[in-house]
A and B are shown apart, each in its own frame.
Chain A
Amino acid sequence: MESLKYNLDVTPLRELNQFLHSNPSELDGKTIEISNPNGAHNIAVGLKADVNVTIQGHAGYYAAGMNQIAHVVIEGSAGSGVAENMMSGRVHVKGFASNAAGATSQGGLLIIDGDAGLRCAIALKGADVVVGGSVGSFTAFMAQAGNLVVLGNAGDALGDSIYEANIFVRGSVKSLGSDCIEKPMDEERRQILVDLLAKSGHASISPECFKRFGSARTLYNFKVDNAGAY
């Protein structure tokens, strides 16, 4: 497999991203290694080709933002909004992720080996997110669809105003947000969880250790009696 190396100490980010937006036929199957990212924002955003991109260090905001098809590995930690609005493909953060990881993502798989900050998977729209560590407060706020797996603990207001997304947490949950409740682990959800654990390198962890959370659906249509919940 052909491997291309970009050193962000030498090559401007614009030039790298422009190359990554080349015609997919020129990129498909390639591996691209990016050294010295040094926390730069917007690395490898808007990809739409079957490429493997490795960021050899820490990335700033919106790394792999709006990803389509590509596989991106961040060997360090990621700033706010990693893989925001991802459509497909896979983004793997080996370190920690800051706020709004996977925000509004519609497809694909985001794996975070460490902890994630506030508002992880906010407004999730169909993607899968697996966090090896813990997540901060307001995680999965207004999450519409998709699945979030947390191997550690969750902060305050988990799943506030959630729609049809599934949340699986192995550790403790500090508090649940409005309209978010614990739900029974049915076979369909159990299978989703088993698959995601396998895909994210956690096949050895038993799905039995997880609790499932989702929407009580009491806020789907406005009722005056629920006004206090808003």
Chain B
Amino acid sequence: MNDVANKVNSDAKTVEHHIPQTLPRFSATFDPHTMAEIRRAAATGIYDIRGAGSKRKLPHFDDLLFLGASVSRYPLEGYREKCGTDVVLGTRYAKKPIYLKTPVTIAGMSFGSLSGPAKEALGRGATAAGTSTTTGDGGMTPEERGHSTMLVYQYLPSRYGMNPDDLRKADAIEVVIGQGAKPGGGGMLFGQKITERVAKMRCLPVGVDQRSSCRHPDWTGPDDLEIKIAEIREITDWEKPIYVKIGATRPYFDVALAVKAGADVVVLDGMQGGTAATQEVFIEHVGIPILAAIRPAVKALQDLGVYRNGKNSVQLIVSGGIRNGADVAKAIALGADAVAIGTAALIALGDNEPHLEAEYNKLGTTAGAYDDWHLGQDPAGITTQDPELMKRLDPVAAGHRLANYISVMTMEAQVVARACGKSHLHNLEPEDLVALTVEASAMAKVPLAGTDWIPGVSKY
């Protein structure tokens, strides 16, 4: 229109005056990221694969606030009055439940996706902090078992490296149905990371692209899962807690079925939870944020009479975007017994650090945004199997950083809990929370701040 108007004006040689120009405007729909992805897809003919979890802005714990104590509630003294942080997991059936000093656990990440030194650092850090760490696809390494006081052994669809001797060495067993980054998806580990050691552990040829299955090979559906859990209990003589890990999709029904199948602990992972390698479309478009998943999961436990019901309790661990003590406290206030961190733990080890900016630039990215974890070129030596790169990670120093970070998260959660007058983190409750947005209010089922309105629960 402007061009036409200009032409008409200049042709008519009417009064000259300044014609305002519109600013170049990017489409909100076809933003630069979207256009770059269209061009990349057009050039390669293959979907984009990357690591980490959902990167889009989602309703999250930041959309909740604690009310704290005032005249109507009584706070606890910050440094003088105790605020407990311990957690017991696996009380329902296991002869040897897990005792943790902090509700912050380390999520399952495989040797293969992570380097040996990174796995060792996770074990060291978790052990120093009094918490558990978790294996991943590809089996248990001696380094990891050796450096972890409490080690959860994942039982995955691929069964790579699955060994009954390791099952007996584990402190708990986690039957993995899915994860938040890709509920309904299987594992991926590309040729670059299938080194001789990784290949041997997984019984694969060196250098192949490993695309592991999304369904377990020897059971289908919840009735079979019940028999499978019973088999693992029989093999381990009912000693070890059995967790069931699910990606957040239909949390009420999935948690109910996991409890029915005999889980001691349910691990619920939201879409912000990380992955070593998954299609971008899967990460960003399948599954729900953890904020929306906790209350339905807790409701399922309550309806089945296993929520904080003494020995007959099934504990809930939630994960997916847990970053600090406020997130920990909010997850617990919504009903979780513990949380798990993955991406945050890798950052504490040294992932995406600004001092490696020049090297990230060489890989076509920038510190903080690096997510091509599947390519095995991580300059921080964490998501790689390159012997030179992995030398850069000192497992002792990195483990110390992780222990510090978990300690800070735990203390932060205590600060919040004491402010709310709670003598244990587990005494936090939804009543302590309000929401900043209508969306978060509906998802977390706590009132919009300053109102008593919860969309879907009460009338405005």
Contact = CB atoms under 8 A, between A and B. Distances in A.
B397 interface: no
A106 B165 CA distance: 13
B312 interface: no
Contact of A85 (B44, B162, B219, B230): B162
B354 interface: no
B191 interface: yes
Contacts of A84: 217-218
A80 B218 contact: yes
B205 A104 contact: no
B209 interface: yes
A220 B209 CA distance: 6
A46 B218 contact: no
Interface of A: 13-14, 17-18, 21, 41-42, 45-46, 48, 60-62, 65-66, 68, 80-81, 84-85, 87, 99-100, 103-104, 106, 119, 122-123, 125-126, 141-142, 144-145, 163-164, 220-222, 224, 227
Query: Is chain B's interface secondary structure helix, strand, loop, or mixed overall?
Result: loop
Nearest to A82: B218
A122 B44 contact: no
A46 B164 contact: yes
B234 A17 contact: yes
Contacts, number: 102
Interface residues of B, number: 34
A224 B227 contact: no
A225 B158 CA distance: 26
Interface string B184-213: 000000110000000000111101110101
Given A125-B203, A163-B208, A66 B227 contact: no
B364 interface: no
Given A103-B217, A221-B209, A45 B231 contact: yes
B234 A14 contact: yes
B155 to A, nearest CB: 10
Contacts of B211: 222
B167 A66 contact: yes
A97 to B, nearest CB: 12
A66 B209 contact: no
B228 interface: yes
Contact of B158 (A62, A123, A164): A123
Given A42-B230, A123-B217, 10 more contacts: A46-B235, A61-B227, A80-B218, A103-B218, A106-B163, A125-B159, A220-B208, A220-B209, A221-B208, A222-B46
B45 A224 contact: yes
A8 to B, nearest CB: 13
Contacts of A80: 218-219, 224
Contacts of B219: 61, 80-81, 100
B237 interface: yes
Given A85-B159, A224-B44, A119 B237 contact: no
